[in-house]
Amino acid sequence: MPWYCLAIIIFGILIDQLTKYWAVTFLPLGQVDVIIPGFIELQRLNNHGAAYNILTGKITLLFLISVIAVIILGYLLYHYRWHQPLLLIGLSCLLAGSVGNALDRGIRGYVVDMIYINVWNIPLLNFVCNLADIFISLGVILILIYLLHNNDKGAVAH
């Protein structure tokens, strides 16, 4: 695996866990700190489910899904280690975010979310997330770009 993959994974996990530690320590539940009015706020929530509160209270199931995702992503990263950097960076971001949220579920029993984003009050673009979620989203976007760009070339051919 290229060095930059390991750097992304370590950086992603560390920055995610540090921001969650900061949020738990210095941002009380329910407190709102406006960063960009009407768009970005800091607002800590303890998320006992997944995105948009699906599977709320199913922490064991979500933890197991996270562990399985980490194993699969680790395998894919190893298997495709000589492919284009865009695919590897996307997989590394996905792995970092998955580990970050899995650590929360395993240690705390919930995921700490603290970044409230509101885009024009559109329901699916109005949510609270964390840096692990942002790494996961970035990873998905990069992998989709890779797949679309390489669709005619056999994107992940051996």
Task: Determine how many CB atoms are found less than 10 A away from the CB of residue 46.
Answer: 14
Taking the CA atoms of 90, 98, 72 and 151 in sequence, report the sign of the dihedral they define: negative
pLDDT digits over 29-51, tens only?
988 999 999 899 999 999 887 77
Token readout for 72 is 């699969």
- Return the ∠ at Cα 99 (arms to 93 and 100), rounded to 5°: 90
pLDDT digits over 125-143, tens only?
888 899 999 999 999 999 9
The overall pTM is greater than 0.85 = yes
Closest C-alpha among 44, 110, 43, 105 to residue 70: 105
pLDDT digits over 58-69, tens only?
788 888 998 999
Task: List active site positions.
Answer: 113, 133
Q: Name the residue ranges covered by the structural domains of the chain.
A: 3-153
